Each structure stands twice: as structure tokens, then as C-alpha cells.
Amino acid sequence: MKKITYILLAVFSALTVNAQDFQGMAVYESKTTLPDMSKMGAPGGRDITPEMRKQIEERMKKALEKTFTLRFDKTASVYEEEEKLDAPGQDGGGMRMMASFMGGGGKHFKNVKEKRYVIEKEVFGKEFLIDDTLPKLTWKMESETKKIGNYTCYKATAVIPASKSDFRNLRMKKDDAKKDDTKKADEPKSTNFMDQMEIPKDVTITAWYSPEIPINQGPENYWGLPGLILEVTDGRTILLCSKIVLNTKEKAEIKAPTKGKKVTQAEFDDLVVKKMEEMRQMYQGQGGPGGMRPPRMN
């Protein structure tokens, strides 16, 4: 009986999606696990106090808790972060800059029929328009299922190259971790947190999609499954759908953004890596990650 009910729901969903003016909206909540900051030092060779470290971790954690809205039709979608006001006295500039490299900010458009995506993003005081081909995700379909809200979801996994400009997967360098375990008490400690971190070459993606919403869509650049992706675990980050509305009364304009200097993803990554290297060198003179003043793009 459950199987028959599921088939009927899937057929009904498919008929609904095939309606000419079909649109839907999904809300996603994101959480990112912070890298180990216990070895982080302060500028000038000083150790960071436990209170200072706790304050930095709390600010970073809050900056990485985001809410996104995905508006979609049969072939295209627009994914945007919901804006939040900075708390009084908070260094909004530094945290917003950091958050922009942690999957936030800008407008993210993708068209699965044309296999194209366009991201409107402001970093270092300059607007960019990243226009490129959707990444080909080689999904491994799993038999495991679970419920997300009222929807039955299936598991799929993929291994993809890690983006150079996405710092959500920062981790301590393996060599540094080994050195730290064997380091003598009187040996000097590195005071540059960014020197101790790296981005892995690959990340494993775990997605949960629902065929009950037969849309080839998902948050960010995730796509290519026979159903809307309702949850994604990408390294340290989890995106979880908290609300779905199908056939929304108010029709949103789903089209590619146009503002900013047009670049490919590779060009954008190279620009970010170059500027982050400048920031790494400026780190000791500007008070660490909470107080870094971003260099401007030329």
C-alpha cells in the first residue's frame, strides 16, 4: 500500500511540475563546522587567550549560520542568501568578507537545460559576474532513504575537486598537525593561522533528493539528480531544506544576474587566491581574522 501511495505521489508531482507556469520555492539552512583553532597564534608572537579564541569562534560560527532561498521552475533557479543586519558593535565588514568566501552573498543562477551557471558576487569591494558551465557531477546512487519533512529522500554521493575560492573546507595542514604533536615545549609556535591551513584537493558530497519533486535542481551548484536536492553535506558544511512551497502564488523572476566584471570560475579563483595571499602577508599587522581589512581589487 505504501509503495502504491508513493507511486501516486510521484505521478502527481510530475504532472504538477509539467504545468507550463510551474514554480517552486525552497528554504535552506546552512551550518559549517569550524576548523581546529586551538593552535592559532596572535600577531607579534603572542598566544591568543582562551577568551579571545572563544570570541573569534563565536563570531565566525554566527557568520556561517545562513539562510538561503531557492526559487525554481522546470529548468532554471535562483539561489540567494537572506540578508541579516549586523549586531551593534560587530565588525560587519570583516565578517561579511569572510562569510563571502564561506558560501554566502550574491545571486546564484543556474539553468540545467543549458548546463550553465552565473553568480553575481562582490568581494574586496568589486563586483564580479562568474559565468561558466555547470560542473559535471558523477553521482553514485545509493539505496538508503530517509524522510526530510514530508518527503521521502534517497541518498547519492559524488567526489568533486575542491574550489580554491571556497574556504568552508579549510583544515589544518597534515604536516603541521604531525609537527605539532611532536613539537617540544620550548620550540617557537607559528603565529599565522592562515599559514597552518589548507584546502583539500577533493571533497565528498552527500546529497539527499526527493523524486516526489522531479526537478533537476538543488542549492548552489548541486544538480543532476532525479529530484529536488533537499540536503547536502559538502565537507564541513551542511545545507538542509526547512521549507518547500510548490506552485507559489507570486511568480518570481528567474533569470541570470548581469552586474559585475565577467569572469570564468577559474579566473575568479585565481584572483581570490592572489588577494588572500596578500591578506596572509598582512595578517600579523592587522590583528588576526576578526580585524583584517580586505585589500581592494584593482
Burial class (CB in 10 A: 0-12, 13-18, 19+), 10: middle
Quick check: is 294 in a domain?
A: no
Identify the residue with better confidence: 2 or 115. 115
Q: Among 17-21, 58-62, 73-77, 114-118, name the one with the lowest average pLDDT.
A: 17-21
Q: Tens digit of pLDDT for each residue in 28-38?
A: 999 887 665 55
Q: Is the pLDDT of residue 255 over 90?
A: yes
Are 61 and 34 contacting, i.e. CB atoms less than 8 angstroms apart? yes
Q: Which amino acid is at 192?
A: N
Identify the residue with better confidence: 24 or 11. 24
Quick check: is 14 in a domain?
A: yes
pLDDT band at 9 (very low <50, low <70, confident <90, very high): very low
Identify the residue with better confidence: 286 or 201. 201
CA nearest to 276, candidates 107, 102, 25, 31: 102
Spatial separation of the C-alpha atoms in residues 264 and 121, rounded to whole Å? 13
Cell of 116: 550553465
Identify the residue with better confidence: 281 or 77. 77
Quick check: is 298 in a domain?
A: no
Q: Mean pLDDT score of the chain, rounded to an integer? A: 77
Q: What is the pLDDT, as a whole number, of residue 151?
A: 97
Max Cα-Cα span within the chain = 71
Spatial separation of the C-alpha atoms in residues 139 and 223, rounded to whole Å? 10
Quick check: is 191 in a domain?
A: yes
Spatial separation of the C-alpha atoms in residues 168 and 58, rounded to whole Å? 16
Q: Which domain holds residue 85?
A: 2-285
Q: Is the pLDDT of residue 193 over 60?
A: no
Name the 3-class secondary structure at 271.
helix
Spatial separation of the C-alpha atoms in residues 47 and 58, rounded to whole Å? 18
Q: Tens digit of pLDDT for each residue in 114-132?
A: 999 999 998 878 899 999 9
Cell of 269: 579563483
Are 10 and 152 contacting, i.e. CB atoms less than 8 angstroms apart? no
Number of domains in the chain: 1
Quick check: is 192 in a domain?
A: yes
Q: What is the pLDDT, as a whole number, of residue 1?
A: 45
pTM: 0.74
Quick check: is 259 in a domain?
A: yes
Quick check: is 195 in a domain?
A: yes
Spatial separation of the C-alpha atoms in residues 242 and 253, rounded to whole Å? 22
Quick check: is 290 in a domain?
A: no
